[in-house]
Amino acid sequence: MDAQDRVAAFVDEHDMDADPAYRILDLTAEIGEIAADAAKTSDYGAAPDELAVSEDELGDALFSLLATADALDIDAEAALETSLAKYERRLDESGDAGSAGPPG
């Protein structure tokens, strides 16, 4: 059983089904908690070497992302493969994985 299936089974078992719009809002909140961890631990960027993110918060965001994918009937593994192929193509074409290409 892959991670998305595990999350879907957990959601089903605990009657946690939710509309995709709610799932997206929850995902945004969880990502915000990661950003808050990073901001606080790094003294809002003044101490980048001190940056830390809680494994628990990262896990919450991952759970929320997989629940969102399931609510939208998107195979998270297939979506990741599509994304990796896109980054590979960009690297081959421009030498940079970013969508804007290399600076300068």
| C-alpha 45: how far from chain center | 22
Range of the domain at 16: 3-73
Which tens digit of pLDDT belongs to each residue from 4-40? Answer: 999 999 999 999 999 999 999 999 999 999 999 999 9
Burial class (CB in 10 A: 0-12, 13-18, 19+), 3: middle
Q: CB-side exposure of 33: number of CA atoms within 13 Å?
A: 15
* Domain co-membership, 79 together with 93: yes
Total domain count for the chain?
A: 2
Supply the pTM of this predicted model: 0.87
* Domain co-membership, 52 together with 80: no
